[in-house]
Amino acid sequence: MVRDSFESSIKSLEEEVVKMIESVEELVIKSIDSLINKDVNLAREVIRLDDNVDKMQLEIEEKTIELIALQQPMAKHLRIIFSIAKIIIDLERVGDFCVNISKETIKIGKERHIKPLTDIPKMRDIVLGMLRNCKISFIKEDSSLAYRVGQEDELIDNLYKDVYTDVLMLIHEDSKNINQGTKLLFVGRYLERMADHITNICERIIYIADGDKVQIN
Amino acid sequence: MLTNGGSSQNGVVYDVKGLNLWYGNDQALKDINLKIEENEVTAIIGPSGCGKSTFIKTLNRMVDNIPIVRTSGKIFYHGVNIFDKTVKLEELRTTVGMVFQKPNPFPKSIFENVVYGPKIHGIRNKKQLMEIAEESLKSAALWDEVKDRLHDNAYGLSGGQQQRLCIARSLAIQPDVLLMDEPTSALDPIATNRIEELIDELKNNYTIAIVTHSMQQAARISDKTAFFLMGELIEFSDTKKIFTTPEDKRTEDYITGRFG
Ligand SMILES: Nc1ncnc2c1ncn2[C@@H]1O[C@H](COP(=O)(O)OP(=O)(O)O)[C@@H](O)[C@H]1O
Ligand SMILES: [Mg+2]
């Protein structure tokens, strides 16, 4: 009886993590959309929505502490609860990077883009794909999927290098490009960092599923 | 032959090999294989009736007292099979002390309880007995509480104090191993905590095997954990491993409370 309610508490905790992942997905989509469309209002919305993600993190954290104190979880239960406590920190960071991107968007405002944004949407698509598969591997406790997701981090690294060289060239061409160029570099860097955090989450999922502590990449 | 100074191989105190035990026709232990190492605390966990008490009582051959018991297999204690005919039971029980679930002091003074064993072993010298009593009571973390009333009846002590007295009584015969069968199950949390701290200190000088129904207790105090189920040893490894990443599904199910 008491155990049943413990197991259902874990279930609902997992559902909250899934919701948090979905909220972060929304932030990724909206932050890059607002950048591409120079939509300052949407960028402001991202900043507001991130407060919700922060709130979710605190609520989930509170519940993990409660479950540890009241149920003294062991084995799989312990791995799930402990890993969730770590996963939400990485998720929260991903949300923060979306906010950072939106702040750059607001600064760029209505300025003409110094280059067509081609690599940044590609990076976004990979980050989103990673997030979605990360969510699925979490729900299914599928460690091999989690492993594959983590490996996509490399694609992002390569795209970031492309953004970097592109922007560097533009800055060389015309020093007026320095201002926006550095902002676009930051955006690339933020996306690249998001992928790192998602990879951390994948490592946690593998620990939940198999009890193995792995370092992907 | 059975003493501490003997040729024990790499700190292994007990090496149990293919142990089976029957009560009449009912098999209570099935092909048990495990090693108990020197100065470690080995916890034995599992649902009631899985054979924990039977196992621990086999280690000092207390099960011999039960007429219907039959065993096969070997238990090497410092390299000597305790089932060998040459092994003297008194000698084995002198080096392997036992503490039970319910504190069971004798209806005698605190002092007499502690020196009971040494007296049986022929020590009569008052001064020597007093030294043994003081040392044992200190080791059992009871001395300060009883030093002014050593000649009062042991029944006047609290449950937790009585249990520490029983531990002192076991220590007085200078054992090598302490076997404990749910030693805190009749105690309140504070008394339990004192016993757990005591176990942690005692392991510097003794090897301890403890049966406990509390997984938290096993996790807190032991180095190795053995999980028994229906007479079988399902999993035996480092306590850290058992409680974080157990190998066997049945261990996982038991320690996460799915049965038992
Ligand atoms: N003296 C006995 N005579 C017959 N069967 C016994 C005796 N003691 C224990 N058993 C049986 O052996 C099994 C293991 O018991 P026990 O070692 O006391 O388990 P645990 O300590 O894990 O609760 C149980 O099925 C129990 O009924
Ligand atoms: Mg028992």
Rounded CA separation B163/B137 (Å): 12
What pLDDT digit, counting tens, does each position of A142-173 carry? 999 999 999 999 999 999 999 999 999 999 99
With bands split at pLDDT 50, 70 and 90, how would you rate the model's confidence at B260?
Answer: low
How confident is residue A136, by pLDDT bands cut at 50, 70 and 90?
Answer: very high
CA-wise closest residue to A124 among A198, A55, A44, A54: A198
Assigned token pair, B37: 């190492």
Q: Which position has the higher pLDDT, B158 or B9?
A: B158
Please state the φ and ψ torsions of residue B249, each to the nearest 5 degrees.
Answer: -55, -40
Whose CA is closest to atom 20 on ligand 1?
Answer: B49
How distant is the alpha carbon of residue B57 from its chain centre? 9
pLDDT reported for residue B6: 41
The phi-psi region of residue A133 (left if phi > 0; otherwise alpha if psi is between -120 and 50; otherwise beta) is alpha
Sign for the CA dihedral angle at B205, B206, B207, B212 comes to: negative
* pLDDT on residue B4: 42
Ligand 1 pocket check for B58: Cβ under 6 Å: no
Place of tokens 């607001």: A106
pLDDT of residue A217: 81
A70 band by pLDDT with thresholds 50, 70 and 90: confident
Q: b/e per residue, B37-46, with b = 16+ CB within 10 A?
A: bbebbbbbbb
Q: How high is the ipTM of this complex?
A: 0.71
In a domain, B38, yes or no: yes
pLDDT over 70 (residue B78): yes
Kindly compute the dihedral angle of the four CA atoms of residues A68, A71, A77, A80, in this order, to the nearest 10 degrees. Answer: -30
Contact B215 A74 (CB under 8 A): yes
Say yes or no for a CB contact (<8 Å) between B216 and A76: no
Q: Is A69 on the interface with B (CB under 8 A)?
A: no
Q: What is the pLDDT of residue B7?
A: 44
* Residue B41 within a domain: yes
Q: Is there a domain that residue B1 lies in?
A: no
Distance from CA of B76 to the nearest CA of A (A): 32
CA distances (Å), origin B109, targets B115, B121, B160, B161, B165: 10, 19, 17, 13, 11
Q: How many CA atoms lie within 13 A of A194 on its CB side?
A: 36
> Could you tell me the pTM of the whole model?
0.84
Rounded CA separation B11/B37 (Å): 6
pLDDT for position B258: 77
**Mutation to probe ligand 1, out of B50, B54, B64, B254 (largest number of atoms < 8 A from CB):** B54
* Nearest chain A alpha carbon to B244: A75
DSSP characters for B150-186? TTSBGGGS-HHHHHHHHHHHHHHT--SEEEEESTTTT
Report DSSP letters for A73-91, one per residue. Answer: --HHHHHHHHHHHHHHHHH
Domains of chain A: 2-210 (1.20.58.220)
Rounded distance between C-alpha atoms, residue A157 and residue A149, angstroms: 14
A197-213: average pLDDT: 96
- pLDDT tens digit sequence for B82-112: 999 999 998 999 899 999 999 999 999 999 9
Look at residue B30 and give its three-state secondary structure: strand
CA distance B225 to chain A (A): 14
Decide which of A3 and B7 is more confident. Answer: A3
- Check pocket membership of B49 for ligand 1, CB cut-off 6 A: yes
Per residue in A186-203, pLDDT (tens digit) is 999 999 999 999 999 999
Provide the pLDDT for residue B215. 92
User: What DSSP string describes A92-133?
Assistant: HHHHHHHHHHHHHHHHHTTPPPSS---HHHHHHHHHHHHHHH
Residue B250 placed within a domain: yes
Angle between helices A40-71 and A2-36 (to 10 degrees): 160
Are the CB atoms for B134 and B187 separated by under 8 Å?
A: no
Q: Looking at the partner chain, which of A6, A72, A211 has a beta carbon nearest the beta carbon of B245?
A: A211
User: Ligand 1: which of B23, B29, B65 to mutate, most ligand atoms within 8 Å of CB?
Assistant: B23
Tell me, what's the pLDDT at B10?
61
- The answer to whether residues B224 and B237 touch, using CB atoms and an 8 Å cutoff, is yes
CATH code for position B244 = 3.40.50.300
Q: 3-class DSSP state for residue A29?
A: helix
In chain A, % of residues over pLDDT 70: 100
> Is residue B64 in contact with ligand 1, taking CB distance under 6 Å?
no
| Long-range contacts from A43-49, C-beta under 8 angstroms, 24+ separation | A43/A102, A43/A103, A43/A105, A43/A106, A44/A102, A44/A106, A46/A98, A46/A99, A46/A101, A46/A102, A47/A99, A47/A102, A47/A103, A49/A23
Query: Is A213 part of the contact surface with chain B (CB cutoff 8 Å)?
Result: no
| Contact with chain A for residue B258, Cβ under 8 A | yes
pLDDT, tens digit, 9 for 90 and up, residues B15-58 = 999 999 999 999 999 999 999 999 999 999 999 999 999 999 99
Whether residue B3 is contained in a domain is answered as: no
**Length of chain A counted residue by residue:** 217
In a domain, B260, yes or no: no
Q: Supply the range of the domain harboring residue B242.
A: 9-255
B256 → chain A, closest CA residue: A74
If pLDDT is split at 50, 70 and 90, which confidence band does B129 have? very high
> In one letter, which amino acid is B28?
A
pLDDT digit string, tens, across residues B208-219: 999 999 999 999
CB pair distance less than 8 Å for A76 and B251 = no
Total domains, chain B? 1
Over residues B222-240, the pLDDT tens digits come to 999 999 999 999 999 999 9
Q: Where are the beta strands (DSSP E) in chain A?
A: none
Q: Is B210 on the interface with A (CB under 8 A)?
A: no
H-helix or E-strand containing A165?
helix A153-173
* pLDDT at residue B2 is higher than 80: no
C-alpha span between B207 and B36 (Å, rounded) = 8
- Minimal Cα–Cα distance from A162 to chain B, Å? 42
What pLDDT, on the 0 to 100 scale, is given for residue B5? 41
Residue B4 domain flag: no
For chain A, say whether B255 makes contact (Cβ under 8 Å): yes
As a whole number of angstroms, the distance between CA B145 and CA B154 comes to 12
d(CA A168, CA B233): 65
